[in-house]
Structure 1
Amino acid sequence: MIPRPPKRLRCVLGLGVSLLLAACARHQALPLEIRPIQPEAASGHQAKPGWQLQHYAVAAANPLAAEAGRQILQAGGSAVDAAIAVQMVLGLVEPQSSGLGGGAFLLHWDGQRLDAWDGRETAPADADEQMFLQSDGKPMAFIDAVVGGRAVGVPGVLKMLESAHRAHGKLPWAVLFVPAIELAEQGFAISPRLHQLLAADQYLRQDPSAAAFYYRANGAPLPVGQVLRNPALAEMLRRIARHGSAAFYAGPVAQAMVAKVRQHPSNPGRLQLADLQHYQPLRREALCQLWLAQYRVCGFPPPSSGQLTLMQILGLLEQLPPQQNPLVDGRPSAAFLHRYSEAAKLAFADRAQYIADPTFVAPPAGDWRSLLAPAYLKQRATLIGERSMGTASHGVPGGTPLAWAPQAAQEEYGTSHVSIVDAEGHALAMTSSIEQAFGARQLSDGGTGLPGGFLLNNQLTDFALAPRDAQGRPVANRVEPGKRPRSSMSPTLVFDAKNGELLASLGSPGGAAIIHFTAKTLLGLYPWQLDAQRAIDLPNFSNFNGPTVLEQGRFPPATLEALRRLGHEVGESELPSGLQAIQRTPDGWFGGADPRREGVVLGE
């Protein structure tokens, strides 16, 4: 059952756009090995029907968040308005994935202009490339770097959303916080997924504030269905609703955040008040690529590796001779998976070599699009043969080598995805994150002294923990002051290449596997001609320039054996994606949500 919106939200939004501001003013409480480690554990499988909608749609990872966005759109709000309401609720009800303490990439289409709003975290001014090295010069163990203050970057999601609202918002800023404040005050029921993740996590209990808030005295996680109130977050959201992002980036909230990071007893970080006050989101040019001669696929440029890497994979596949029957009994065939794995190896080799924050790192051949140039992809595709290549080496786009060391493999995590289309046909795809599940495992109450708050990110571990190779060559994605860590987040909008009409919005959480989850869905939507729900439902598969990893229990043993005969190292993993997608249909919009998580698509 989809939950009803909070009473206050029903009241305010039911009045219509013209009365929204007056309604809020009257309400005194709100004047305003081979199994890759996954970002979040699996929590079961629940079949989703797909949703046909006519006028507008919101796809989000939690029903309460999707309902908040739907109500905003019903009141005449824009896609950006709805995204703000959705994100504030997501930070409350799925705190393991995103929230005020993290960052986001937002790809927005206003019917004429396409913008890539960059709210990625930045490294503090005191950061340096040695910060994840031990006294013997070796990198810290990943989890040792994560837990505490060391890996906390400057959060960017709130200031980015504020900037996007100034450009594209229709409803008053304060109204957009009503649903999250109401839910934080009155409470929400702990979902099965949140309960399972709390139970599985070994580190969140180490933070006294988080232990007292999310666990019982005996260390057991709060049970499914228990109503959890978050008065600290409610108070912070009220201040942000009144005063804008300044209430977060300065004053008591900022001071409490810095104290939490710098005073961690065993793993302090380097965040300072000046880092928060100087943070600026960026409005970048989206990166678009023609695909299959019919589609213009648009995504995020660096510091995201998502669009470049997934379009390299799809572009390499396009260079190969047409393949008969890529799906067998509704699953990708072994022959297809062989080709896909080889293309992924080549793309991930380039990713490890070249992609990083463009403010600090020059693109190969002077242009990131050199990685997608048809001649380059054609040359790279010749390396895909009848048997596994093992591990791929990076290419040299434009024929000019750069003196970077490839980044060593390390864990990557994250996130939550939102896709929205509003009544005017304006659309967005937004992926937000605090990196690993529950981030740095640090809960900040924002100086309120109240129970609850928000979790801090560990995004600095998206940088290379080992900044140089044995020869002393620097890794492009090493830590530097003010730098944005490389990401795999892949918010994607698809357009008709001939008439420019918006066709789809999609994306997923999943760390580096986001790239594969998004590529799978694009393949399902277009060459395989599935609807959004059926494309999302397809079994997941991945390769990060090593073993081929298939979704556990979703492929017959014959598929694994066929891949092994072609020389692949093959394993299975849960691969719990969290895909959301909205596609254009003759009757309006059709939305799909991942059966592996709690998301839904709502609208009208």
Structure 2
Amino acid sequence: MKLTRSTLLLALTATALTACAPRGAVDTAAPAPVTTAPEQRQAFVAAAHPLAVEAGLDVLRNGGSAVDAAVAIQAMLSLVEPQSSGVGGGAFMVRYDAKTKGVTVYDGRETAPAGATPDMFIGPDGKPLGFRTAVLSGRATGVPGVVRMLALAQKKHGKLAWRDLFADAERTATNGFTVTARLGRFINSSGPQANTPDSLAYFRNADGSKTKAGDTLRNPAYAAFLRRLATQGPDAMYKGETARRIVARVREGDLASSMTEADLATYKPVVRDGLCNPYRAYILCAPPPPSSGVGLLQLMAMIERTDIGSRGPNDPVAWVKYAEASRLMYADRDAYVGDVATVPVKGMLDPAYVASRAALIGDRAGPAPQAGTPPGAVTARIDATNEVPGTSHFVVIDGEGNAVSMTTTVESFFGTGRMVDGFFLNNQMTDFSFVPKGPNVIAPGKRPRSSMVPTVILRQDRSLAGAIGSPGGNAILGYVSKALVGMIDWKLPVADAIALPNLIARGSSFNGEADKFSPELRAAMAERGVTVRGGTGEDSGLHGVMIRDGRFDGGADPRRDGVAKTITLPTRK
């Protein structure tokens, strides 16, 4: 059934703001209808697995909010996409409030234990540990944050009871689900986390064979944990038996963690104002540091100062200029962004500074750019962070027009490969720099820098225009910016913008989906200095939506198992 423009505007109407909403804004009531006729309402979910989408839609059908749905989606993703995210990891949620038109960020990023040290990934020879050694260690796990963050957001913005948000995931864990080809590929990969004792024990059929695509996978331990989480709230994760098991598990082995039960019990999510900046006829809002939202906004501001928008996806110059803008952004992001007070956020977005950086963009690739000096910056620092691909992203819009754009992760594939109560523990500490230099150095209680940039898109009157985000390690900034260019500049349907070839230009490398560019386009780009080589890792998992002509134009990344779905909600008098 068509969602009319008047109905959509009714759900989104509110007093315009000139800045993001105050922290903790609560939306508990729907706008009053203008007539006594039944109101048609629609809702939207896009996520990386159909079962996660259905879990979210079930909550929305039952009158839940976008944040309620986010809880159910995360609980399901932890089960059906464990290589990417889970309750043992962290996340950033960007929430749009239709009533106030405000944007609030809920930071559930993992934190370093109180006993963490800057040199904890330096070996006895004085050199950084190899990633394989580090990722399998207990030290790799940060204090998980996603459950506390979701509980805080749900307490403020939920409509349903917390205990009613886990039924789909608990039932699926008990009865089992069919392993997708993608999950089966990771289970049977040579990756170290897929071959740990915990992984081998979990991904094992009754006849002793290793789980593969098409098999049914059950997780009774996770079902039992979800039952406790539903009744006890987040304390089921951060105190008591699960907390004790997490601490015991990360303290095993030669490179044991310093994590304590006190680290878990005292974890606190952070509520932040959204970081917003104009782009074309829109306003883009993303998380501030330690997220790399400032990098995404800077990149889009540079792109706005080029003629990419008047070119198109088949123009080699458009892709070359996009690559050059990306390289400039990464040079600044790597030098300045971290969980530190000295990030020059205003300086990186200063119009004069952005213009000076954009002036370096030509129609041919130059040498690898160096970091600039934005206003307010301290001396640029060398960064030695090795951020691997991983993660998941989903988008929810509820019947009141509130939206959630959330990127969630256990960092690498299956985190550390260590499990507790049916879920994998993150390896987020390896998102810090192994070398104690630069803005992303390990420190007690610190949050590692993140490339996660869940984004909401507003119109000039601050009504909701869309949302987008992706997994992919440091390539996330490239994936999301590519989709934004396709959606906004090239006016492509969201699904087509998401499906555009990925190009990650950083430093002296141009990685991406070389075979998805036509031979002619690829050759013309190479002639201008951009030779695209096949990338590595988990690739993009873009999920997004634009609201166009009163309709949800949604898309799910064809590179993953997800779907984007719109439903009509029950009418209300």
Q: TM-score, normalised by structure 2?
A: 0.88
Cα distance in 2 for residues equivalent to 1:462 and 1:505: 25
Separation in 1, partners of 2:120, 2:208: 32
Q: Secondary structure at the match of 2:138?
A: coil
Match of 1:308, SS state, is helix
CA contact 1:59–1:418 (8 Å) conserved in 2? yes
Q: Give the structure 1 partner of residue 321 of structure 2.
A: 339
User: What residue in structure 1 maps to residue 406 of structure 2?
Assistant: 430
Query: In 2, distance between residues paired with 1:571 and 1:603?
Result: 37
Residue 514 of structure 2 aligns to which amino acid in structure 1? Q
* Corresponding residue of 1:548: 510
Contact 1:199/1:220, CA 8 A, preserved across alignment: no
Partner of 2:298: 312
SS class of match (1:590)? strand
Residue 550 of structure 1 and its aligned partner are, at CA, apart by: 3.0
Inter-partner Cα distance in structure 1 for 2:396 and 2:377:
41
Listed one character per residue, the Cα deviations across residues 199-226 of structure 1 (whole Å, up to 9, x for unaligned) are: 1143235432321111359985302222
Aligned to 2:370, which of 381, 387, 393?
393
Q: Is the 8 A contact 1:148 1:441 kept in 2?
A: no
- Check whether the contact 2:47–2:53 (CA below 8 A) recurs between aligned residues: yes
Report the counterpart of residue 504 of structure 1 in structure 2: 466
User: 1:553-572, aligned counterparts within 5 Å?
Assistant: 553-572=515-534
Of 366, 383, 397 in structure 2, the residue corresponding to residue 407 of structure 1 is 383
Q: Which residue of 1 aligns with 2:426?
A: 457
* Partner in structure 2 of residue 375 of structure 1: 352
Asked if the contact 1:62–1:598 (Cα under 8 Å) also holds between the matched residues in 2, the reply is yes
Name the residue aligned to 1:599: 562
> Which letter maps to 1:444?
V
* Equivalences for residues 249-264 of structure 1 within 5 A: 249-263=238-252
Whichever residue aligns with residue 116 of structure 2, its letter is A
Q: Within the alignment, does 1:76 sit opposite 2:45 as a pair?
A: no
Match status 1:267 vs 2:244: no
How far apart, in 1, do the equivalents of 2:52 and 2:363 lie?
46
Aligned mates of 2:225, 2:405 — CA distance in 1: 26
Partner of 2:501: 539
**CA distance 1:125–1:381, shift in 2 (3 Å):** same
Q: Cα–Cα, structure 1 residues 168 and 375, in superposed 2: closer, same or farther, change >3 Å?
A: same
Give the counterpart of 1:285 among 257, 264, 273: 273
1: CA distance, partners of 2:121 / 2:241: 29
What is the deviation of 1:389? 2.0
Distance 1:390 1:148 in 2: 38
Question: How far apart, in 2, do the equivalents of 1:466 and 1:570 lie?
Answer: 30
Distance 1:114 1:187 in 2: 37
Is the 2:41–2:399 Cα contact (8 Å) retained in structure 1?
A: no
1:183-214, CA deviations, whole angstroms, 9 ceiling, x for partnerless residues? 11111111111111111143235432321111
The 3-state SS of whatever aligns with 2:187 is: helix
Q: How many residues were matched structurally? A: 525
Counterpart CA distance in 2 for 1:476 and 1:482 is 15
Any residues of structure 2 matched to 1:294-313 within 5 Å, and which?
Answer: 294-305=281-292, 307-313=293-299
What is the 5 A alignment of 1:513-532? 513-532=475-494
Counterparts of 2:190 and 2:425, CA distance in 1 = 16
State the identity %.
Answer: 41
Please tell me whether the aligned partners of residues 91 and 408 of structure 2 are also in contact (alpha carbons under 8 angstroms). yes
State the Cα deviation string for residues 320-370 of structure 1 (Å, max 9, x = none).
Answer: 356643222xxxx3211111111111110111110001xx33122xxx121
Of 144-153 and 274-283, more deviation after overlay is shown by 144-153
What do residues 528-580 of structure 1 show as CA deviations (whole Å, max 9, x unaligned)? 11111111121111112221123131112333333333234531236731111
Query: Which structure 1 segments of 5+ residues have no match?
Result: 1-52, 446-452, 469-474
1:487 aligns with 2:457: no
**1:325 maps to 2:311:** yes
User: Following the alignment from structure 1 to structure 2, what is the Cα–Cα distance between the partners of residues 401 and 540?
Assistant: 31
Counterpart Cα distance in 2 of 1:495 and 1:317: 18
The farther-off stretch of 83-92 and 335-344 is 335-344
CA distance in 2, matches of 1:542, 1:161: 31
Alignment CA distance shift 1:436-1:218 (3 Å) = farther
Residue in 2 that maps onto 1:37: none
- Supply the distance in 2 between the matched residues of 1:143 and 1:182 (Cα, whole angstroms): 35
Structure 2 CA distance, aligned partners of 1:590 and 1:388? Answer: 34
On the 8 A contact 1:289/1:297 being kept in 2, the answer is yes
Are 1:195 and 2:158 matched, yes or no? Answer: no
- Equivalent residue, structure 2, for 1:44: none
Q: CA deviation at 1:54?
A: 6.1
> Within 5 Å, which residues of 2 pair with 1:24-103?
55-103=42-90
**Which stretch shifts more, 563-572 or 577-586?**
563-572
Kept after mapping to 2: 8 A contact 1:205/1:215 = no
Q: How does 1:97-136 map to 2 (within 5 A)?
A: 97-111=84-98, 112=100, 113-136=102-125
Amino acid at match of 1:421: I
**What amino acid is the match of 2:332?**
D
Deviation at 1:269, TM superposition (A): 1.7
CA-CA distance at 1:316 after TM superposition: 1.2
Q: In the alignment, which of 117, 130, 149 is matched to residue 138 of structure 2?
A: 149
- Residue aligning to 1:46: none
Secondary structure, counterpart of 1:526 in structure 2:
helix
- Tell me, in whole angstroms, the C-alpha distance in 2 between the residues paired with 1:401 and 1:413: 29
Name which of 161, 175, 197 aligns with 2:164.
Answer: 175
SS at match of 1:150: helix
CA deviation digits over 1:61-105, x for unaligned, max 9?
100010011111001100000110011000001111111100010
- TM-score for the superposition, normalised by structure 1: 0.84
Partner letter of residue 392 of structure 1? P
Alpha-carbon distance between aligned partners in 2 of 1:588 and 1:100, rounded to the nearest angstrom: 33
Match of 1:354 among 333, 336, 340: 336
| 2:308 and 2:321 in contact (8 A); partners too | no
Q: Which runs of no fewer than 5 residues in structure 2 stay unpaired?
A: 1-39, 568-573
Q: Distance in 1 between matches of 2:365 and 2:308?
A: 19
Q: Distance in 1 between matches of 2:114 and 2:389?
A: 24
For 2:156 and 2:377, locate their aligned partners in 1 and report how far apart those are by CA, in whole Å. Answer: 40
Q: Does 1:140 align with 2:116?
A: no
